[in-house]
Amino acid sequence: MREKSTLFGNSGKLTAAALINKLLGYLRDAMVVWIFGSTRITDAYYAVLRFITFFRRAFGEGAVNAALLPEFFGSRAPERDFNAFFSALLAFITLTSFVLSALLIIFRKTVILAVSGGFASDPWQFKIAATILGIMAFHIVFLGVYALFQGFLNFKNRFFKPAISQAFFSLAIITALLLFRKSDPERAIYAVALTALLSGFFQVLFLLKDVKKEGMRLSLKNPFRRDVFSIFSSSLRSAFCLSQDYILLFISMAFGSFLREGTVTAFYNSSRLIQFPLSLIASSIALAALKETASDYSSGNREAFKKNFTASFRLNFAILAPSAAGLFLLAQPISEFLFSHGRFSREDALYTAGILKILALAVPFLGLNKLFVSLLSSMGRQREAQRPVLISIIFHFSLSWLLADCGAAGTAFSAVAASALSCLIFSFLAARHSGTNLREQSFFILKVLLSVLAMSAVTLVLLKFSGAHAAKAALAIIGAAVFAYFGCLKLLKINVSRKLED
């Protein structure tokens, strides 16, 4: 039995790295709209970027871990030639990602039609989107290798460096934007896409020394092994489940391509803002919890398994509930503060804020879903985790189609409803297979919601007094809201940061 859970320590490392990555990401996005505005070029760029980002986040936020860690902690792991297995998996991932990238380049126009059909009515915009996809497609090769390196280093209890390496992506794009900000917009956006591609190479190179230091002798072995196929298929299932938020928002952007100019950009920027708590908190907790629960489950320590999941749930909900309320109440000043610069008008910021208000309501559901996926993955139940996600995708697509006349608000509302539906299904699956019953946490949930109400009241008062200057005072209002929330938690005697001991 372990003396002390490392759940909160690992979560802290991942959260610190995610915070740096997110701040760089917001700087990157603010610079994009500052230079290009809310235009057809920006819509084309974000449509492709969201497609590539799906692979970045799916594999970078734990899909390979969800497949590898239960296997590594399993009883068969000591019997395996680990280096040969790792090299075979590296060869397989490199080969398959290379083939996928090549197919994306060959069929790039078909892909753009499938994911952003509205661009077909504008040949110039369609050409730009297809060209950007052709440039960035091979970034997926580097992502596959990075995901494997990350999974191995996490297994070795190395969390911060693999997570912080994702900053190369934002840093590369920021550099390109600074160098080409005065160039022709079409040329500049192609330069941005090229530097984004190259960032993947430097990300892999950044981790290579650490992988070797941990004992891996890298080579390309025969990739066609049964255990390699098993891990890869599990990784795909986990990627699908952990990327529910990206898939739902990707569908929303696809519907948005048929709406007014700038809708795709508005959905992208809104989704980036709700990704702040999801990536910073939910993904970090889910990834750290996966290592803990996988180890507990494989060793038969069911008491520690339930304790770690309960702690993860409490920390997750205690951060995501106020985050959703804050994004809803402060959607307009945040959007104006971040994006109302350069060619991005105040009208564009208000349009973004309207979408953000609705999507913010999905934050607690999407964050808890990530935790449920990790729980089921640690038990080797990735197949069952797919069902709620698949149901939510079908539901979102169908409801968005029915609400097409409602514009961007209709598909945003559909995403919220779909995420809530899948969260309900996940909670039933978790109770059935792990014995974790969220009804036992009802008193805790009530206290958190009371604290959220207190925080919301403070926020509304400050917004009223700041009036037209709310955008300039956004950071101060957020600080006061956070102080009010945690102050109320303390009064209600809730400590969400307490470390667990077995």
Domain segments of the chain: what residues?
7-491
How many whole angstroms separate alpha carbon 18 and alpha carbon 336? 23
pLDDT in the model for residue 402: 94
Phi, psi of 39 (to 5 degrees): -125, 180
Write the DSSP symbol of residue 499: P
User: CB neighbours of 79 closer than 8 A, spacing ≥ 6?
Assistant: none
pLDDT for position 344: 77
> Minimal CA–CA distance to 20: which of 171, 199, 204, 153?
171
pLDDT of res. 394: 96
Print pLDDT tens along the chain (502 aa). 344 455 556 666 667 777 788 888 888 888 888 888 878 899 999 888 877 777 766 655 555 555 555 555 443 444 456 777 778 888 888 888 899 999 999 999 998 988 888 888 889 999 999 999 999 999 988 988 888 888 778 777 787 888 888 889 999 999 999 999 888 889 999 999 999 999 989 999 999 888 888 877 777 667 777 767 776 676 677 777 777 888 898 899 889 888 888 888 889 889 888 988 887 666 666 666 665 666 666 667 777 777 777 877 888 888 899 999 999 999 988 888 888 777 778 888 889 999 999 999 999 999 888 888 877 877 777 778 888 999 999 999 999 999 988 999 999 999 999 999 999 999 888 877 766 666 677 888 899 999 999 999 999 999 888 877 777 787 888 889 889 998 998 888 876 554 433 3
Concatenated DSSP letters of 111-151: HHHHH-GGGGG-HHHHHHHHHHHHHHTTHHHHHHHHHHHHH
Q: Report the C-alpha gap between 153 and 161 in whole angstroms.
A: 9
**Per-residue model confidence (pLDDT) at position 65:** 54
Query: What H or E segment, with its residue span, contains residue 348?
Result: helix 346-359
Whether the CB-CB separation of 31 and 174 falls below 8 Å is answered with yes
Picking from 194, 201, 157, 163, the residue whose alpha carbon sits closest to that of residue 176 is 194
Alpha carbon distances (Å) from 123 to 118, 186, 495: 11, 14, 56
The token pair that represents 108 in the structure block: 């790039």
* Residue spans of beta strands (DSSP E) within 214-255: none
